[in-house]
Amino acid sequence: MEEQKKEFMRKAIELSLIGSQEGIGQGPFGAVIVKDGRIVGEGHNNVIAYNDPTAHAEVVAIRDACKNLGTYELQDCEIYTSCEPCPMCLSAIYWAKIGKIYYGNTRDDAAEIGFDDAFLYQEIPLPLAERTIAIEPLAREEAQVAFVLWAKKENKID
């Protein structure tokens, strides 16, 4: 069992190597998603190749697993990621309802090679006015139309 877990992690590490060593190199991060003892999704960092700042290994793997399984929830799955997830990926893992996270490198290891996400952990608890990116409310009443209709809608998935 422990050995099988290590095999899944080795696959995530292999993806991190493929992604980072090919061509100009993506960030050195890889991830696999496992269900019932088999890999159902995988990915490595593809931010530059996809021109997509959200294409972190974990997000790419979640999209792959959801597509392969035809679902938007992965509660019976585990994720093996070559590095402790950043706040965006951690949130995506929660939204996907993945059951367990295994990680290789720590976020401090990532910070040491220039991938520091500590600022995000610091931003989130700050009051809106103190955050780095300006944020202000706008047209709430108009925006609420969709919420009101949603609240009244009968045939929706909770």
73 in active site: no
Q: How far is the CB of 103 from Zn ion (least distance, A)?
A: 11
Q: Are 76 and 35 in contact (CB under 8 A)?
A: yes
How far apart CA 35 and CA 70 sit, in angstroms, is 13
**CB closer to Zn ion, 27 vs 77:** 27
Q: How far is the CB of 73 from Zn ion (least distance, A)?
A: 20
Nearest to 92, CA basis, from 61, 121, 126: 61
Nearest to 65, CA basis, from 50, 83, 49, 80: 80
Interaction site with Zn ion (CB under 5 A): 56, 86, 88-89
Tokens standing for 97?
A: 């309802």
**CB closer to Zn ion, 54 vs 132:** 54
Q: Are 62 and 92 in contact (CB under 8 A)?
A: yes
Q: How far is the CB of 81 from Zn ion (least distance, A)?
A: 9
**CB closer to Zn ion, 86 vs 96:** 86
Of these residues, 14, 22, 58, 136, which one is catalytic?
58
Q: Are 58 and 44 in contact (CB under 8 A)?
A: no
Active-site residues, by number, are 58
